[in-house]
Every structure is written in C-alpha cells, then in structure tokens.
C-alpha cells in the first residue's frame, strides 16, 4: 500500500445494468438511438473508404447503419446479427475547460451506447455512474481527453450534472508507449517488489514526477495529497524510470 485508501462502497457496473438501460431508453424516446449491425472489420473498412464521417471528426463511425430502412433492419436480424446501439449525434461541437489542458473542443460522433453483446458501453456507463455517485471532479489519463465531449453531450441530453475534468499526462516507456502489464512491464507494486524496488521508492518517484523532491515514502503521502497543485502538472508524457535496469519475470 502507498498510503491512499478508498472510503466508499464498492460499486460494480454489472449490478447497474438497469440504470444504463433506463438512460438508453430516455435517449431512444428523444429519437437519438439507432441500431448498428456493423462488425469491427466492416467499420474499419468503411472508415478507410470515407475519411470524414457525416457526424463526427475523421476516423469516426461513418454512419453506415444510421438511416437503414425497416426492411434492411429486418434483413440483418434474420441473418442473426445482434445490433449495437449508437447515439444519433447531430455533430455538435462541445467545448469544455480541462484543468490541465485548458479549453478543449471536440465534435460528438455517433458513439456506441450498448455493444452488440448487450453490455453498456464505457461512455454511457461512466456518465450514469458519475451522476449517481455525485462525482464532482473526474481525474484520469489524457488518453481519454477525446472522449470527454461525448460524455458531456450525454450528460446534457440526459439532464445530468457535468463534473470538472482533469486529464493528467500518461507514464510512458522508452518508446513513448503507455505502460502496459501485458507487455511484461513493471506496473504493479508486486512486480516492482519482485525486482527489488520497495514501495517507498515508488512513492518517491511519484512525488518527483509531481515536482516534489521532499516525498521519500508512504508516510509522506498525506502531505503529498494536501500539497498537490494541479497547476504544476505539465501536458507532456512522463517517462518511467524505475526498474529499467532490472528484468521482470
């Protein structure tokens, strides 16, 4: 442990499908939901063939199923293809102020609301969960910065409060890639301990990445939290330096 604890109840999204279904139903009542029968490979091919989606930035879903006729939908159903559900976006641009990246604007595309296996999609689930739990500030990696306009649009459409957003830089390896356990990189305290790197060294590295050379170990974490200033964060990625000379097996 590094000295940070969560004092709330554990919330499992698998127990909250009824809430997500209710949100999708509300959007459907507004005429903002449509069935999408495309496979991932079909979507990739469509994107490659259509550099600009009708409602969204380049690389967005090109709207293949957006205006299917009822006969076309029946044909897909008879083929046994379960549909995903997408938001019928109007291509609106959403501007918000991120506490690290400043004013940011993104165009809202026809984002997936429910996958074709029946599981609610990330962007819808987090919007519903944040509102239900009274979240007022979202802090996460800046690889999700581009998803925020979609979530704000959903909050507006569902009449939910909009939290503040703080998108922090990612920690990256020597090649500039986000650290990932699947590549065998030392990303857990257990991995690092096995490599001979104690938790206090990890905490000290975290402190140094925030410009705090006075942080030496877990006992300093309360002071690190109290003295944290988001304005001191940069916008560039943070190179990972711990464990680079050791092999994690």
Ordered per-residue pLDDT tens for the chain, 249 residues: 676 677 778 888 999 999 999 999 999 999 999 999 998 899 889 888 876 677 777 778 989 999 999 999 999 999 988 999 999 999 889 999 999 999 999 999 999 999 999 999 999 999 999 999 999 999 999 999 999 999 999 999 999 999 999 999 999 888 888 887 777 676 788 888 888 888 899 888 888 888 888 888 888 887 777 777 888 888 899 988 886 533 332
Please indicate, yes or no, if residue 179 is contained in any of the structural domains.
yes
The rounded Cα 247 to chain-centroid distance in angstroms is 30
Same domain, 63 and 159: yes
Ramachandran category for residue 119: left, alpha or beta (phi over 0 → left; psi -120 to 50 → alpha): beta
Residue that the structure tokens 């988001």 belong to: 230
Asked which of 137, 168, 199 is the last residue of a domain, the reply is: 168
CA pair distance 118, 248, nearest whole angstrom: 38
Please indicate, yes or no, if residue 33 is contained in any of the structural domains.
yes
| Structural domain boundaries enclosing 49 | 13-168
Please indicate, yes or no, if residue 2 is contained in any of the structural domains.
no
CA pair distance 138, 127, nearest whole angstrom: 11
Same domain, 161 and 178: no
Same domain, 65 and 107: yes
CA pair distance 12, 10, nearest whole angstrom: 7
Same domain, 111 and 221: no
Asked which of 168, 196, 225 is the last residue of a domain, the reply is: 168
Q: pTM for the complete prediction?
A: 0.86
Same domain, 149 and 183: no
Same domain, 231 and 195: yes
* Dihedral angle over CA of 194, 177, 96, 128, nearest 10: -50
Structure-token pair, residue 234? 């940069």
Say if residues 154 and 87 touch (Cβ distance below 8 Å): yes
- CA dihedral over 31, 60, 55, 101, signed as positive or negative: positive
Q: Under 8 Å CB-to-CB from 197, ≥6 apart: which residues?
A: 186, 242, 243, 246
Same domain, 109 and 207: no
Please indicate, yes or no, if residue 223 is contained in any of the structural domains.
yes
Report which of 69, 76, 146, 71 is spatially closest to residue 111, judged by C-alpha positions.
146
Q: How many domains does the chain have?
A: 2
């Amino acid at each position: 442990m590094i000295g940070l604890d969560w004092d709330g109840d554990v919330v499992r999204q698998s127990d909250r499908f009824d809430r997500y279904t209710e949100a999708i139903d509300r959007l459907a009542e507004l005429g903002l939901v449509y069935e999408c029968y495309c496979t991932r490979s079909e979507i990739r091919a469509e994107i490659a063939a259509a550099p600009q989606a009708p409602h969204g930035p380049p690389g967005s879903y090109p709207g293949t199923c957006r205006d299917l006729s009822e006969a076309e939908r029946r044909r897909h159903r008879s083929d046994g293809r379960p549909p995903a559900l997408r938001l019928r976006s109007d291509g609106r641009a959403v501007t918000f102020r991120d506490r690290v990246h400043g004013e940011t604007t993104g165009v809202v595309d026809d984002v997936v609301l429910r996958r074709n296996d029946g599981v609610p999609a990330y962007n819808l689930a987090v919007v519903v969960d944040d509102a239900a739990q009274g979240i007022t500030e979202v802090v996460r990696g800046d690889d999700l910065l581009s998803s925020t306009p979609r979530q704000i649009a959903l909050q507006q459409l569902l009449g939910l409060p909009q939290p503040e957003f703080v998108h922090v830089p990612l920690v990256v390896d020597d090649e500039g890639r986000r650290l990932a356990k699947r590549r065998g990189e030392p990303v857990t305290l257990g991995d690092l301990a096995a490599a001979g790197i104690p938790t206090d060294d990890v905490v000290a590295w975290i402190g140094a990445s925030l410009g705090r050379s006075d942080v030496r170990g877990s006992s300093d974490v309360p002071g690190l939290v109290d003295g944290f200033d988001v304005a001191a964060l940069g916008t560039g990625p943070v190179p990972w330096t711990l464990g680079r000379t050791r092999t994690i097996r």
